[in-house]
Each structure stands twice: as structure tokens, then as C-alpha cells.
């Protein structure tokens, strides 16, 4: 039996052979589908609250979701270490170590969940005030954060389970998991907000309920799969594999923390411009979450794809995958950019009926639109480096983007007397272009170092 057939039998996909574009696209599409459905969580919350709740409710969900997203994206970054290590062990034919990774992850993330739940429940109001939530939306923000904080264990569990399957080369099951959650969330939003008029509280309850159902069903589905590893009771402990995936994932998570802080700071800058600007940015931010789906799926797919090829010693194939990913992402990004640039009001009008709020959202999207293309290039680089475990550089370049470009430019633009959300939105692609330049320079240096090591 060849390697590919063997991997398929055991529930893992082999990225070390076959057509790169076809394999990358085949893996990326379910990842993209899962991210689309995941983005619909927040989008549906905003949409339903926008139509059946209040303007202050839109601001409350927007500000509260920024706080919760800080947690979600940080955990997603940290669990990327699991994805990379599992992919590496599959490429190295060391599948017996995967059970230890998962057992350690269960204990580690259970402890993290308890700590984060405490922080969100106790300090929700402090976070809302730090975010400069408009006075009308402070209490609503607190409600959203506390309810999501109470269910944070389910949000974390979903991200960890998905990272495990992406490491195995299986992007289809995470798509099924999030599809289940999305359906439950839509039903919950309509029931709690449209029927019971619970406004922000209803949106938060629907989100937590959806994640809980998704995790429960995903565990049931996992037990029926023919997986390439065994998980024993003895594996579920604080073992040495925790150090390994934390070492890889921590720089990614730290970058995500600071990146999300930068978006929270941006939200705070815009909150200071009034309720209409705050609500408009909230709607634009949900559209932005859809714009970023292609780059996000590209990065996750690239990390898993490259990790397997690095483990198998196929560096040229890994490098070629990165370039193909850039091409695929950029071609799609052109169409997305044009939609955001010229159809911003049409897109924003889906989420709210207030003309001023829609106008403010479209204004922000005009400045942000270029990000749809340049982030595909940047995230292909990042996926390539993640697959090589070069996550410290990924963290450094992310910090440089945030503190040297995105935050200073956003702050400066928000303080101009003729302030426009379009100019504030332009800070994102400006920071990304700066990041691409850093990544190109590091690629030249890193490639030279690998060639020197190979020639010794």
C-alpha cells in the first residue's frame, strides 16, 4: 500500500505528493467553508440585533465581540502549535506521539478555560470601559462578555478540536462541526432576539449554546472515526508534549493577542467618535471578517501543508506551495476588494437599516478594501513560516506591523479634524504592505541559511 493510500485509510491526507495546487485547494475549501460559517456567528448576531434590537445593541455586540475575539484568536494561535506538530509527526512517520499531544492539550486548555472564564466574568465592566464603549452600550457590552465568558470552555474546545483535524490533513470534519454550530446559532438568535426580544443577551446566549452543541456532537463524531492515533487515559495529563506545542504556538498566540489589542484600540478610537461611528464600524468589522476568510483559510492550510513537507524533507515543494497560495489568494482577493470598494453600502445595508450607520460602515470599507489582496500574500508567508516552526519571526513581524504602522496611523487619522473612517480603514493594508516587505527580507535570509546548512 503506498503512503497516500495508507494515510487515507488512517484518516490523514498526504501533502507530500501529488499536484500542489489541487491538493492545496482541496484542503483549503473546507477550511474556508468552516471560516465562512464561523464568521456568520458574529455576523448573524449583528444582523439580528440590527433588525430586531437596538442601535446601542449593535455597539454592545460589536464591542463585546472584540473582547471575546481577543480570547478566540489567541487560543486559535496557540492551538496552531498542535496543528504544526501533528503535521510534522505525520511527515516523520511518528504518529505514536499524537495521542500524547492531544492528552496534554486536554489538560492544558481545560486549565486555560477556567482562568479565562474567571477574568471575563469578574472584569467584564472594566474591559467595556477600557474599550470606551458608548455610555448607552456599556451595560449591554458587559452582558455580552459575561455570557460568552461563562461558555468560554466550549469556544476553546471547538478551536482545539479543529486544530487537531487540520494537523491530520482533514479539513472536512471541522467544516461539519462549525456548520452544526452555525445552524444552532441562527435558530437561537431568531428565537432569543426576534421572538423573545432579549437583544444582546439573546445573541450571546445563542452563540454559547451553538458552541456547546457543536462540541458535543464533534466528540461523538470523532469517536466514530478511524484515526491514525490512539488516545489512552494515561495520555491525558500534563506531559512533555505540552511544552512542544506551546513553544510553537506561543509566538503565534502572542502575536494574535497584540493584533487583537490593536483592533480593540481601533474600536476604542472609533467609539470615541460617537454612537453612529461605533455602530458603523461594528457592521464594517463583521464584513471585514468575511473579507479576511480567504487569507485566513490560506494561512491555516499552508501551515499544515508545509509542516508535512518539512517533516518529509521536501523543502522545494513547501516553497512552491507558498507561491501557489499567493497566486490563488490574490486572484480571489481582487474580486473581494472591488466589492468592498464599490458596493460597501449595499453590503452594509444587509446588517442595518439606519442610513447614517450604513454610510459610516461603507466609508470604513473603502479604506480597508486593499487588504483583501495584500493579506493573501502576507498570510501565505506566515503559513510557510508556521510550517517551519519559525513562529518567533511571525510574532516579531506582527508586532512591527501593529506598533509601527497600524496603531499610530489609526490614532493619527482618528484625531484629524476632518476625520473619515476611510482613512482609518487604510491603516490595515498599510501595515500589511509593511509586513510583506519584512517577510520578503526574512525569506531571503532564511533561505540562505537553509542552503548553507544543507551544503555542510
Average pLDDT over residues 237-242: 88
Convert the pLDDT of each residue in 354-406 to its tens digit.
788 888 889 999 999 999 999 999 999 999 998 888 888 988 998 899 889 98
Convert the pLDDT of each residue in 318-361 to its tens digit.
999 999 999 999 999 999 999 988 988 888 888 777 788 888 88
Q: What does pLDDT average to over the chain?
A: 85
Q: Looking at residue 366, what is its pLDDT?
A: 93
Q: Phi/psi zone of residue 238: left (φ > 0), alpha (ψ -120 to 50 degrees), beta?
A: beta
Joined grid coordinates for residue 368? 480597508
Q: Looking at residue 85, what is its pLDDT?
A: 87
Question: Does residue 52 sit in helix, strand or coil?
Answer: helix
DSSP annotation string for 330-393: HHHHHHHHHHHHHSHHHHHTTT---HHHHHHHHHHHHHHTTHHHHHHHHHHHHHHHHHTT-HHH
- Which range is least confidently modeled, 40-44, 167-171, 404-408, 444-448? 40-44
Q: Looking at residue 174, what is its pLDDT?
A: 80
| pTM (2 d.p.) | 0.70
| Residue 209 main-chain phi, psi, to 5 deg | -60, -40
CA nearest to 77, candidates 293, 304, 249? 249
The domain segmentation of the chain, as residue ranges, is: 18-455
Average pLDDT over residues 231-258: 84
Q: Looking at residue 42, what is its pLDDT?
A: 63
Crossing angle (nearest 10°) for helices 55-91 and 152-167: 30
Write down the residue that cell numbers 421572538 correspond to: 195
Convert the pLDDT of each residue in 37-47 to its tens digit.
777 766 788 77
Convert the pLDDT of each residue in 5-19 to its tens digit.
444 444 446 788 888
| Residue 426 main-chain phi, psi, to 5 deg | -65, -15
CA separation for the pair 291, 51 (Å, rounded): 22
Q: Looking at residue 18, what is its pLDDT?
A: 86
Amino acid at each position: 500500500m503506498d503512503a497516500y493510500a495508507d494515510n487515507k485509510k488512517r484518516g490523514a491526507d498526504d501533502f507530500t505528493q501529488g499536484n500542489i495546487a489541487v491538493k492545496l485547494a482541496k484542503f483549503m475549501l473546507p477550511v474556508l467553508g468552516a471560516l465562512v460559517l464561523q464568521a456568520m456567528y458574529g455576523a448573524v448576531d449583528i444582523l439580528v440585533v440590527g433588525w430586531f434590537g437596538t442601535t446601542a445593541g449593535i455597539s454592545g455586540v460589536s464591542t463585546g465581540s472584540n473582547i471575546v475575539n481577543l480570547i478566540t484568536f489567541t487560543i486559535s494561535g496557540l492551538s496552531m502549535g498542535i496543528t504544526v506538530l501533528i503535521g510534522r509527526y505525520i511527515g516523520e512517520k511518528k504518529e505514536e506521539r499524537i495521542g500524547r499531544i492531544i492528552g496534554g492539550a486536554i489538560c492544558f486548555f481545560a486549565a486555560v478555560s477556567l482562568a479565562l472564564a474567571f477574568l471575563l466574568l469578574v472584569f467584564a465592566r472594566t474591559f467595556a470601559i477600557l474599550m470606551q464603549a458608548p455610555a448607552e452600550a456599556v451595560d449591554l457590552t458587559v452582558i455580552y462578555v459575561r455570557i460568552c465568558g461563562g461558555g468560554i470552555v466550549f469556544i476553546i474546545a471547538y478551536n482545539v478540536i479543529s486544530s487537531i483535524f487540520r494537523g491530520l490533513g482533514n479539513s472536512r470534519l471541522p467544516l461539519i462541526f462549525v456548520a452544526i454550530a452555525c445552524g444552532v446559532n441562527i435558530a437561537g438568535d431568531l428565537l432569543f432576539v426576534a421572538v423573545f426580544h432579549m437583544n444582546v443577551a439573546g445573541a450571546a446566549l445563542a452563540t454559547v449554546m451553538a458552541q456547546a452543541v457543536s462540541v458535543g456532537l464533534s466528540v461523538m463524531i470523532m469517536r466514530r472515526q478511524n484515526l491514525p492515533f490512539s488516545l489512552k487515559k494515561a495520555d491525558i495529563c500534563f506531559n512533555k508534549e505540552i511544552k512542544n506545542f506551546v513553544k510553537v504556538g506561543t509566538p503565534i498566540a502572542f502575536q494574535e493577542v497584540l493584533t487583537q489589542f490593536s483592533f480593540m484600540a481601533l474600536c476604542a478610537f472609533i467609539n470615541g467618535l460617537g454612537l453612529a461611528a461605533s455602530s458603523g464600524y461594528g457592521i464594517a468589522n463583521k464584513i471585514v471578517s468575511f473579507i479576511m476568510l480567504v487569507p485566513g483559510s490560506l494561512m491555516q492550510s499552508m501551515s499544515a501543508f508545509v509542516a508535512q513537507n518539512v517533516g518529509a524533507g521536501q523543502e522545494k515543494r513547501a516553497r512552491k506551495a507558498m507561491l501557489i497560495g499567493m497566486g490563488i489568494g490574490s486572484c480571489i482577493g481582487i474580486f473581494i476588494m472591488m466589492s468592498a470598494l464599490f458596493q460597501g453600502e449595499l453590503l452594509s445595508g444587509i446588517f442595518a437599516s439606519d442610513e447614517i450607520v450604513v454610510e459610516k460602515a461603507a466609508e470604513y470599507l473603502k479604506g480597508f478594501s486593499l487588504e483583501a489582496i495584500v493579506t493573501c500574500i502576507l498570510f501565505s508567508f506566515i503559513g510557510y513560516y508556521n510550517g517551519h516552526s519559525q513562529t518567533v519571526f511571525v510574532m516579531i513581524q506582527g508586532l512591527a506591523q501593529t506598533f509601527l504602522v497600524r496603531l499610530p496611523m489609526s490614532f493619527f487619522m482618528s484625531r484629524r479634524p476632518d476625520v473619515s473612517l476611510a482613512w482609518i480603514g487604510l491603516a490595515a493594508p498599510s501595515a500589511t504592505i509593511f509586513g510583506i516587505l519584512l517577510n520578503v527580507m526574512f525569506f531571503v535570509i532564511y533561505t540562505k541559511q537553509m542552503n548553507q546548512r544543507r551544503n555542510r
